[in-house]
């Protein structure tokens, strides 16, 4: 979508057209104290598409997500969220944009001093653009917690929950506002395989039920493979292989690989598996593929 044309101008609260870029990075570079974290990164995510961002520790994955949220300002390039360039926005202007994004932070980032109910209600109560009537807050919080099967933890504090439960509560907090774009920062990091699978199942469930754009950062190839090849079956509540006619999950799921802040690969799972690059194939090998 070219910039500056009348067709590219979106009203602040207008929903994006079906083909519109939900998130677009254009030659984005970020540095901290002259140490580059992202270098000339460009990619685009459209509605109902999924991007799996793979990369070693320190390759700039988390910085990329924080740049998409406007928490980190790029030194050069531009970031477009729902057609709006957020690079020059003030913090107050960014609050409006951020209300359309859900984010799962790496360590969950739940507020220690608030109960689970207050944590999940936080975006509904504090984001002006959401405009959730106060009498609906409790209902929506319960729905979000029911989605992650933790409705019974309402009055508990984050410190009373296990790591996996905290991660699920953080997912509930991210989806409670039903944002059209969800960002997940290493959702399975530090979790046992069973809990990690539960978390991934929730992410796939949210993607398939809400038809939202998803950006997931991980260093585990198997998480990406799960996202690219499985879909949520609402009839039995389980994941099943996404095959057959009408399956476009594999087509709309692309892998990005970051290396020392540079985007070194963008393509489908088949293209990634065909790559002979030593760095890229390391991610494939870790899953035994």
Partner 1 sequence: MALLEVVTGPILAVQEFYLLAGRALRNMFREPHYSDDIVLQMDNIGVGSLPIVVMTGFFSGAVMALQLARALAQWGQTGKVGTAVSITLVRELGPALTSLMVAGRNASGMASEIGSMKVTEQIDAMRALGTDPIQKLVTPRLIATCVVLPLLTIIADFVGVFGGYVVAAGMLDVNGRQYWTSVWQALGWDDVTQGLLKPFVFAFVIALVGCYYGLRASGGTQGVGRATTQAMVAASVLIFVLTFFLTRIFTSQLVSAS
Contact footprint for partner 1 (CB under 8 A): 66, 69, 71, 91-92, 95, 98-99, 101, 103, 105-107, 109-112, 122-123, 126-130, 173
| Complex with partner 1: residue 79 or 280, whichever CB lies closer | 79
Q: Which residues pair with 53 in a beta bridge?
A: 217, 256
Sheet holding 181-185, edge to edge: 101-104, 181-185, 213-218, 50-55, 253-259, 262-267
Residues 6 or more apart whose Cβ sits within 8 Å of residue 246: none
Residue 257 main-chain phi, psi, to 5 deg: -120, 125
- Between CA 39 and CA 45 the distance in angstroms is 19
Instruction: State in angstroms the smallest separation of the CB of 108 from partner 1.
Output: 8
Instruction: State in angstroms the smallest separation of the CB of 146 from partner 1.
Output: 21
Instruction: State in angstroms the smallest separation of the CB of 262 from partner 1.
Output: 24
| Complex with partner 1: residue 99 or 253, whichever CB lies closer | 99
| Complex with partner 1: residue 1 or 130, whichever CB lies closer | 130
Q: Are 16 and 22 in contact (CB under 8 A)?
A: yes
Q: Are 141 and 133 in contact (CB under 8 A)?
A: no
| Complex with partner 1: residue 17 or 111, whichever CB lies closer | 111
| Complex with partner 1: residue 185 or 206, whichever CB lies closer | 185
Instruction: State in angstroms the smallest separation of the CB of 274 from partner 1.
Output: 36
Residue 22's H or E segment, with its range, is strand 21-32
Instruction: State in angstroms the smallest separation of the CB of 101 from partner 1.
Output: 7
């Amino acid at each position: 979508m070219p910039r500056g044309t009348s067709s590219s101008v979106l009203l602040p609260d207008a929903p994006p057209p079906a083909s519109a870029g939900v998130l677009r990075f254009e030659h984005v570079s970020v540095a901290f104290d002259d140490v580059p974290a992202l270098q000339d990164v460009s990619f685009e995510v459209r509605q109902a598409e999924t991007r799996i961002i793979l990369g070693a520790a320190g390759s700039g994955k988390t910085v990329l997500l924080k740049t998409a949220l406007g928490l980190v300002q790029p030194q050069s390039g531009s970031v477009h969220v729902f057609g709006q360039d957020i690079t020059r926005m003030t913090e107050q202007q960014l609050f409006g944009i951020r209300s359309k994004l859900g984010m799962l932070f790496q360590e969950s980032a739940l507020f220690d001093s608030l109960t689970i109910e207050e944590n999940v209600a936080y975006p509904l109560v504090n984001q002006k653009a959401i405009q959730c009537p106060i009498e609906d807050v409790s209902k929506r919080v319960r729905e979000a917690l029911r989605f992650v099967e933790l409705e019974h933890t309402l009055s508990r504090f984050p410190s009373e929950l296990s790591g996996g439960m905290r991660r699920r509560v953080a997912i509930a907090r991210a989806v409670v506002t039903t944002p059209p774009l969800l960002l997940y920062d290493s959702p399975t990091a530090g979790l046992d395989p069973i809990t990690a699978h539960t978390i991934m199942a929730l992410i796939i469930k949210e993607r398939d039920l809400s038809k939202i754009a998803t950006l997931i950062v991980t260093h585990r190839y198997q998480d990406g493979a799960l996202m690219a090849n499985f879909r949520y079956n609402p009839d039995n509540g389980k994941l099943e292989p996404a095959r057959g006619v009408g399956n476009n999950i594999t087509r709309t799921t692309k892998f990005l690989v970051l290396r020392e802040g540079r985007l070194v690969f963008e393509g489908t799972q088949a293209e990634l598996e065909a790559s002979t690059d030593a760095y890229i194939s390391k991610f494939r090998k870790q899953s035994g593929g």
